[in-house]
Amino acid sequence: MNAEIILRGLEKDASLIDESIQDWWLSYLHGHFNRYLETLSVLFKLGLHGKILDVGSVPGHFTVLLKRLGYNVVGVDINPKRCMKFFQKYNLKVEKVDIETEKLPFQDNSFDFVLFMEMLEHLRINPLFALREIYRVLKSPGYMVLTTPNITLPMRISFLLGKSYQGNPAEEFAKLDRIGHMGHIRLYTLHEIRQLLEFSGFKVEYFMHLGKTKGGWKTKLLRLLYPKQREFKPYLCVISSPNKPPKL
């Protein structure tokens, strides 16, 4: 089945989503449509197989996409109730877990792939706890695929000029009440992500930039001065594996 057709068809499921987040749910589907497809392409190249865990499943578009494509996927989320009717329609198991404070309800070495997509930037308590739990449940060999917003060159220049690229902190904290989870609390550079992963026991295997570069005269000018095209893409994708000792 075609992934694009599946994703476009999810629009009709908006009525299954809690009314308080329906608008956000649809906006997220449209805004992340291309990222979903690019990430799926990355997973295919890695040889996606076996048991898959999607950490932070809500809004659930990607989890359902994998399920519809025939993969064995389960999820965890801080408040799956927001999309529970949606998950039930597609026979998806999504457990309620606060990944910063609660252990994942799975045995060690349970999953071949763990997806940690657009999550790191939302964690406000202890991302190391979440990463260590992912490390625990991920098989070796196995892959964690992490995606997170990229701090682009235009964003860096804005910061040097005294402007914030992190967003309005009041609005990001207000999302705790409005949509049920924290907004962006912190964006990370690739170097910082590598530090977090290696400290948690992972080995970074690959990284890439995803998404379409935003236009505008400022971006075009910066491209002429700094021609590394990947630096302008809006998402980072980091693939890592658990650096575990072999079994004796």
Tens digits of per-residue pLDDT, 80-92?
A: 999 999 999 999 9
Band of pLDDT at residue 242, cut at 50, 70 and 90: very high
> Phi, psi (5° rounding) for residue 53?
-115, 125
Q: How many other β-carbons are positioned within 10 Å of the β-carbon of residue 110? A: 18
Q: How many distinct helices (H) and strands (E) make up the chain?
A: 10, 7
Which is more confident, 241 or 155? 241
| pTM of the shown model | 0.92
Per-residue pLDDT tens for 45-100?
999 999 999 999 999 999 999 999 999 999 999 999 999 999 999 999 999 999 99
From the centroid of its chain, how far is CA 91? 22
pLDDT at 1: 74
| Whole-number pLDDT of residue 211 | 86
Average pLDDT along the chain:
92
- Nearest CA-CA partner of 61 in 109, 99, 26: 26
